[in-house]
Structure 1
């Protein structure tokens, strides 16, 4: 209890949310004074994006589809979510990432190109290995930063960097034609 918290809980009320992944049954707390509505939920709106975000984050973190089903049950959906639905949702992520990584980048000229790499532990062919993730960030003439591309490889070798930079050029990265100090030379 505090001066700011003057009310008390008075049971719960059921709330069923319809999502494309299935219905989620929740128990929202009732208060003696005032009302409570979780910030995650919006009145009279579907929360499929929130549920999808939980599923996607779990998938990104390497949680199995079976454990995702248990997670959804723990969130209040008694029926859970099928493994095929989790796979379908994650397949949609794969498609979106593929589109992003192969989109054309010739919409503007980037006078600055920043290249960086980090090593991540990645599950590859049933085992966890350390791989290099390279990222190219462009800064447009207006000062807007944009991730232009990224790639995952075994190590930061000359061949890997050359292949990555050539893929950016093939996707439309505009390069300087002379040794302009503000230009990007590939």
Structure 2
């Protein structure tokens, strides 16, 4: 792939900065930028003053007006590269209200937060640049946007290796696929996501992992990693049915209760049913997994098998996995409602797809960066909220003799 062409004006400016400052380190570059930011801010503020008064500073009309320029006031502002001292123009009657750096505002680094927020929402670099220009009156290059969002990489590394809770009551796992460019070709990559429900009823994304395929071996590595990061116990694991995943999870967490996602089983079975019978078929299924008791579930399943015997492929999906349906009735209704589906983590992947649909990513870091920024937005929305009927679910676990001691250990 050929080297992308930069704006000649940007290259010329960069060469002049290097020639003038002779930077030898990143810190030298930051100091050079600080020196440049000051004159940039001052020039823009002078332009605002010209507009406010209606004429340039060297215009003779200045002497013919009551309100005129009245020198400068010193101000120190905080930028992304550190504090910068600037001179703010003043007018005689004090009516000048700067828009770039309003009075009493000393932090102008917020533009970085805005760029990162837009990037996290899946906006392209072109759209971000255009939006910044509309708001602030100046443009930012693609390289600058990339540099700003790269600030998230050290935080991403810390987040990926952070210590985890000792116990998660419910864990949901799933994979989604997206595209990464690799030199002259594009490849599909699997994004592995684990969502956990803490003992307090809060949602937490335990991590994000990339691999070229989804496999039980990768899942085992991931479970081994989260155990090394502090997870001692998981009560329930909801999965979509990847071959070998159940055995792999039990190899790391022997006491884990693995639940096949009922929604995935429905999807797998309706593939064998003509569209004209979808509605009636799924209605019959709801009587099975939505029954009030195990006995009612088993009775409804016998009726289901007889009613839909004309579609043996669809019925066989449920015969092979009926133990996962029966297992639901070992627990109270509030627990069943949480564990029966992986929709909670699929909802996260739906949110991820909104920010990955803009096209292929140039490398793994670029993909992980945008996904991590999206995770931060999701976690901000979840903050302070709890899983619906969480207290009822915990009470149902506490009265279960098989789980009571494990629950008491971590609450």
| Map of 1:133 onto structure 2 | 191
Are the structure 2 counterparts of residues 172 and 125 from structure 1 closer, same or farther at C-alpha, using a change threshold of 3 Å?
A: farther
Would you tell me which structure has more strand in proportion to its own residues? 1
Deviations 1:112-133 (A, max 9, x none): 2211221223344465432111
Are the structure 2 counterparts of residues 178 and 84 from structure 1 closer, same or farther at C-alpha, using a change threshold of 3 Å?
A: closer
Q: Is the 2:180–2:189 Cα contact (8 Å) retained in structure 1?
A: yes
Q: Is the 2:166–2:230 Cα contact (8 Å) retained in structure 1?
A: no
Name which one, 1 or 2, has greater alpha-carbon Rg: 2
Q: Does 1:86 find its partner at 2:152?
A: no
| Map of 1:76 onto structure 2 | 136
1:20 offset after TM fit, Å?
A: 2.4
Are the structure 2 counterparts of residues 67 and 112 from structure 1 closer, same or farther at C-alpha, using a change threshold of 3 Å?
A: closer
Q: Does 1:163 find its partner at 2:221?
A: yes
| Map of 1:104 onto structure 2 | 163
What are the residue-to-residue correspondences of 1:32-51 with 2, within 5 Å?
A: 45=105, 46=107, 48-49=109-110, 51=111
Q: Distance in 1 between matches of 2:256 and 2:177?
A: 32
| Map of 2:115 onto structure 1 | 55
| Map of 1:144 onto structure 2 | 202
| Map of 2:79 onto structure 1 | 20
Are the structure 2 counterparts of residues 120 and 43 from structure 1 closer, same or farther at C-alpha, using a change threshold of 3 Å?
A: farther
1:151 offset after TM fit, Å?
A: 0.6
Are the structure 2 counterparts of residues 163 and 87 from structure 1 closer, same or farther at C-alpha, using a change threshold of 3 Å?
A: same
| Map of 1:10 onto structure 2 | none
Instruction: Give the TM-score normalised by the residue count of structure 2.
Output: 0.30
Instruction: Give the TM-score normalised by the residue count of structure 1.
Output: 0.59
SS in 2 for 1:148: strand
| Map of 2:231 onto structure 1 | 173
What CA RMSD, in Å, does the superposition of the two structures yield over aligned residues?
Answer: 3.8
Equivalenced residues, count: 147
Q: Distance in 2 between matches of 1:19 and 1:73?
A: 21
Would you tell me which structure has more helix in proportion to its own residues? 2
Q: Is the 2:79–2:108 Cα contact (8 Å) retained in structure 1?
A: no
Q: Is the 2:233–2:256 Cα contact (8 Å) retained in structure 1?
A: no
Q: Is the 1:110–1:141 Cα contact (8 Å) retained in structure 2?
A: yes
Are the structure 2 counterparts of residues 135 and 43 from structure 1 closer, same or farther at C-alpha, using a change threshold of 3 Å?
A: farther
